[in-house]
Amino acid sequence: MRGMAHGGWLSLAPWRRGPLLLLRRPSVAVAIAVAVAVAVLPAAAGPVFLSSAGSATLRARTSSVCPAALGSQVVAPERPVDPAVLATAVTQEAQAAAEGLGDPAVTLVSAAVAVGDNRVNIAGRNGFEAHVQRIAGGPGHGLWLPDRFAAEHGLRPGDTVTISPNVEEWSADNVRRVWAPTAVPVVAIYRDLRDRSGDDPFWCGISTLYRGDPAQQAGGLGSDVPVLDLLLADRASMLAIASGAHVQTAQRIERAPATIDLTAPEATRLAAGITTMHERLRTTGYDGRILYRTALPPLAGRAALVERELRGTVLPISAGGLLVGLAVVMAAGAFWVRRRERELVVLATFGATAPWLGVKAALEALPALTAGAVGGWSLAWLLVARVGPSSDVSGAALVQSLIAAGSAFLLAAAVLGVTAALACRPLTGAPAPKARVRRRLAVAPWELLLLAAAAGYWSTGGDRSMVRLGSQYGTMVQLPGKLLVVPMLAMLCLCVLGARLATAAVRRWTRSTTVARSAVRLLYRRRLRHSAAAAVTLALITALPVAVAGYGATATRTVSATLAAQARLGAGSDVVITLAEPGAIPATLAGRATPVLRVDYVQLDDRQVSLLAVDPVTFADVAFWDDRLDDTTLAEATRALRAPAKGAIASAPVPDGTATMTFGADPPVDLEVTSLSTLPAPRGGYPVLLVDRAAVGQEVLVRAVPQLWVRGDPDPIRAAVDAAGLRVASFSVADDRLAGTFYQPVTYTFAYLSALSLLTATVAMVGFLLYLESRLRVLRRGYAMLRLMGLRSAVQGWLLLAELAGSLVAGCAAGLGLAVTAAVAVRDQLNVDPAAPPGTVLSFPWPVMAGLLTAVGCFAVLVAVVTHWRLTRSRTSEVLRDID
């Protein structure tokens, strides 16, 4: 027997020229490229999504932390070392151990210094002059006074203030040394930092010097500790005050990260570097009373925890997506064989075996595979950047993503080759499986196994709605697998079962012997009967991704809506502004803001409540409310406040009826209380009591914290408040309550599912195109034959549209129905925090669903029009001679 020429099959033209051959069949190339993109996308998206989630978690936490606190803070309370020496040491160690820190900010602080009859804080921070608003005076050595302090004491630049020493020194014979107060000149007046609504990040590291300690104030304990004024001084003046005036002076050396846009691995590395730097400083002699601080390690640890724990849900989703993609690649492989059958038979007659034909398939598909892999990876990156939690992704995640994409690419190439080889076996004379076995496999209702698996998973998956994981970095909520696995399995089962039943129904319907009213109807029925399995399969591959997309979007919206409702109910409204002093509602916020006076320690009979004295006219329009709470609207509920009798509304467990409110020196007030299950803005677990602000006593008016509750976007609201010159103590945004909480990863997971929606839509599109391409030859012949028989082209166009759009739209509608059913079935499980009112807010993305249905319909019409146009361009004579 003669042997093949040197080089084997790969050296022959059909293999050697393989990578260029598929370009002659762009539809097959496009189908393969998209199929591979579908497989690569989820594989590549997994690592970048996890990194994105870690970055978002970190960002959510770091955005509310002073950059200086994120970096290194070295605090020497009472000058145990020379400031210059310590600063140099910190710089050296930072360079050695903690790359990624910014320039040092050195601050000398003298706390609670007696200036005349007052106590103040004095600080000297390099470069402070550029970060204050100078009102009077100019540069020079001396003190900068806040305007309020200066006005209160009648001080101007050029005046002097007297600083009393606070350093205690004892002589050798145990006699306390006494120094005389020192006069320090005033060189400038600046606008009090407390009168600015937003803090300049420059000051945040030492904001406690002029705002007090928020921890003390919030806790109530120590809230009577006065917040001192902050006097500023240049470094030379500070050193002179410390030594000449004998004032205790601490030194703070802060090095914020060079950038706070850190990814989780970068943060972990920087945190480790800072820790090492502090250790080295300690061991090189700078220990004792020196404090070393950084807030970064726990935040970085938490981001890493989120990244790690999300793997449990993200990777299975990615694997599922990859499997779906590979299934499409298998279809593409079989499709390739059908389209290349003529050539394959020729090669098979020359002895090419099925494996070599599979290799040829992979070679031919190589450009399409490569384009698809690049497209899939790009799409993954784009998806995460656009709809992911954050666009910041670590370099390591990118590398992992590339490796995953490369692996998926190789896997797809292998699957395509193997599928093609298997599909080629009949062409090469290989024995086919026994028909009886195939028939039995085809009729076995194996999809019911999926339903059984779903039921089993549900019953063994526990009844907790969300799994909370504990660690040294806190708790987080992980999406239970059953909320992903069970609906997916159930929907897959119902889709396949539905397809099986629909195929039988279509065949039964089209078998009907009743005479069709028109030739078109007859043709439609005949075509449908002939391709019942294909039509139902098309509907199935449309229904399944639409169901997944619909379920994912519904779950995303429901979890988000529930969390948002809980956050708004907890905060009171979209934005709650606590004012340092009462102020009027800015004109630009009229109609969406309401004034509230809040007192948290009011007695109602023998019960402590949080009192909210509100404007009954505007409160209901602004405060958050969900009508499912107590089956009433807030407007209806607050109508009781306007009654002539002193009405009040209280949240449970305060009962209905008359109750007496007492507060401080105000006379007791009898109130007619209407009880509701919950009210906005509870605090500390105490019931909330709503009353008309016009009805409260004088002491409440004096001691209450004035607030403005506003609905709308925070940024314009902040601008309006600044423009109105209101003095803001705090600016609380309801959505910020979600940021950085342990609930956050759940929304990340569903965001990933939303990204999967795009993937599944692509699957449907590819399936549809594959189906159409495989039928094009038949459609061409049918078109030519019917034209010869006199059936008009337009009629055939409508027939084609009905045939294509029917399957697609039916599949889409069925998918949406399944999505709604699945979401309703697991609605109680979609509440991250079941204990918090108002319960699950089931939110269907109707616009998205309508858009999806419209898009599918438009796509079907477009494809039908294009296909019909292609059919009309066929030459009847050539088609009937099968010259293709």
Partner 1 sequence: MTSTEQGAGCVRVSRSYRVDGHLVPALVHVDVSAPAGMITAVIGPSGSGKSTLLRLLTGMDSPDEGTVTIAGQDIGALSAAGRARLRRSRLGLVRQDPGDNLLAYLTVRQHLRLAAQIRGVPEETGEALLAPLGIDGRVNHLPHQLSGGERQRVAIAFAAVGPPSVLVADEPTGQLDHGNVDAVVAALRVIADAGVAVVAATHDPAVWQRADRVVRLQAGRVVQEAT
Pick one of 352, 368, 379, 784: the residue that binds partner 1 (CB under 8 A).
Answer: 352
* Rounded Cα–Cα distance for residues 546 and 533 (Å): 20
Give the tokens for residue 803: 């045939």
Choices 216-224, 273-281, 341-349, 558-566 (CB under 8 A): range interacting with partner 1? 341-349
Contact by Cβ (8 Å): 300, 58: yes
Q: How far is the CB of 784 from partner 1 (least distance, A)?
A: 18
The residue among 175 and 883 lying less far from partner 1, judged by its C-beta, is 883
Give the tokens for residue 256: 């914020």
Choices 83-91, 269-277, 340-348, 457-465 (CB under 8 A): range interacting with partner 1? 340-348
Contact by Cβ (8 Å): 633, 697: no
The residue among 651 and 874 lying less far from partner 1, judged by its C-beta, is 874
Interface with partner 1, residue 53, by CB under 8 A: no
* Rounded Cα–Cα distance for residues 5 and 3 (Å): 7
* Rounded Cα–Cα distance for residues 828 and 667 (Å): 47
The residue among 213 and 343 lying less far from partner 1, judged by its C-beta, is 343
Coil, helix or strand at residue 769: helix
Pick one of 1, 130, 175, 442: the residue that binds partner 1 (CB under 8 A).
Answer: 1
Pick one of 152, 350, 438, 866: the residue that binds partner 1 (CB under 8 A).
Answer: 350
* Rounded Cα–Cα distance for residues 209 and 231 (Å): 10
Contact by Cβ (8 Å): 282, 61: no
Q: Looking at residue 170, what DSSP letter applies?
A: B
* Rounded Cα–Cα distance for residues 315 and 321 (Å): 10
Backbone angles phi, psi at 92, to 5 degrees: -65, -45
Pick one of 294, 428, 807, 831: the residue that binds partner 1 (CB under 8 A).
Answer: 428
**Within a 10 A sphere around the Cβ of 17, how many other Cβ atoms?**
11
Pick one of 175, 442, 789, 883: the residue that binds partner 1 (CB under 8 A).
Answer: 883
The residue among 278 and 360 lying less far from partner 1, judged by its C-beta, is 360
x/- map, 823-862, partner 1, by CB under 8 A:
----------------------------------------
Count of residues interacting with partner 1 (CB under 8 A): 30
Interface with partner 1, residue 475, by CB under 8 A: no
Chain Cα centroid distance, residue 360: 44
Interface with partner 1, residue 349, by CB under 8 A: yes
Pick one of 11, 133, 259, 793: the residue that binds partner 1 (CB under 8 A).
Answer: 11
Contact by Cβ (8 Å): 604, 650: yes
- Helices 26-62 and 264-283, axial angle in degrees (round to 10): 40
Q: How far is the CB of 430 from partner 1 (least distance, A)?
A: 6
Residues 14-33 that bind partner 1 (CB under 8 A): 14, 17, 21, 24
The residue among 352 and 540 lying less far from partner 1, judged by its C-beta, is 352
* Rounded Cα–Cα distance for residues 746 and 388 (Å): 13
* Rounded Cα–Cα distance for residues 754 and 274 (Å): 38
Backbone angles phi, psi at 470, to 5 degrees: -100, 150
The residue among 200 and 878 lying less far from partner 1, judged by its C-beta, is 878
The residue among 337 and 753 lying less far from partner 1, judged by its C-beta, is 337
Helix boundaries (H) for 284-394: 296-339, 341-349, 354-387
The residue among 52 and 428 lying less far from partner 1, judged by its C-beta, is 428
Choices 77-85, 152-160, 348-356, 676-684 (CB under 8 A): range interacting with partner 1? 348-356
Q: How far is the CB of 16 from partner 1 (least distance, A)?
A: 10
Q: How far is the CB of 348 from partner 1 (least distance, A)?
A: 8
Spell out the SS3 assignment of 397-447: HHHHHHHHHHHHHHHHHHHHHHHHHHHHHHHHCCCCCCHHHHHHHHHCCCH
Choices 3-11, 263-271, 558-566, 784-792 (CB under 8 A): range interacting with partner 1? 3-11
x/- map, 429-458, partner 1, by CB under 8 A:
xxx---x-----------------------
Pick one of 217, 353, 678, 774: the residue that binds partner 1 (CB under 8 A).
Answer: 353
* Rounded Cα–Cα distance for residues 543 and 549 (Å): 10
CA angle 165, 169, 171 (to 5 degrees): 140
The residue among 627 and 884 lying less far from partner 1, judged by its C-beta, is 884
Q: Which residues bind partner 1 (CB under 8 A)?
A: 1-5, 11-14, 17, 21, 24, 342-343, 345-346, 348-353, 428-431, 435, 882-884
